C-alpha cells in the first residue's frame, strides 16, 4: 500500500493487509494525534488496509477562536 505522511510530507510503501492500529504502531505514531484516511475515507483502528489502497496520515490540528 502507499502511505502518505503529512507534516513533513513523505511517501512510503508498506506491505498489507494490516489493521490501522498495527500500521500506526509500526510507524511509531500517536493515534490520538493523527487522522488515518484510506481511499478518501476516515478509518477506525480496527479497519484493515489492503495492498491496493492509498492511506493518508494527517496530524490532528485544533484551534480556537480569536
**pTM score, two decimals?**
0.84
Cβ–Cβ < 8 Å for 65, 50: no
pLDDT value at residue 48: 96
pLDDT value at residue 8: 83
pLDDT value at residue 66: 61
Question: Is 66 within the bounds of a domain?
Answer: no
Taking only the tens of pLDDT, the chain with its 66 residues reads 999 998 889 999 989 899 999 999 999 999 999 999 999 999 999 999 999 999 999 998 876 666
Q: Total domain count for the chain?
A: 1
Q: Which three cell numbers stand for residue 38?
A: 484510506
pLDDT value at residue 65: 65
Range of the domain at 44: 2-59
Place of cell 513533513: 8
**Pairing relationship of beta strands 41-42 and 34-38 according to DSSP bridges:** antiparallel
Q: Which three cell numbers stand for residue 33?
A: 494525534
CATH of the domain at 44: 3.10.20.30
Q: Which helix (H) or strand (E) holds 23?
A: helix 20-26
Question: Is 65 within the bounds of a domain?
Answer: no
Amino acid at each position: 500500500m502507499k502511505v502518505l505522511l503529512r507534516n513533513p510530507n513523505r511517501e512510503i510503501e508498506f506491505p498489507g493487509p494490516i489493521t490501522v492500529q498495527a500500521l500506526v504502531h509500526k510507524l511509531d505514531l500517536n493515534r490520538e494525534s493523527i487522522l488515518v484516511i484510506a481511499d478518501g475515507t476516515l478509518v477506525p483502528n480496527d479497519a484493515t488496509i489492503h495492498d491496493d489502497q492509498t492511506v493518508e496520515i494527517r496530524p490532528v490540528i485544533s484551534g480556537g477562536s480569536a
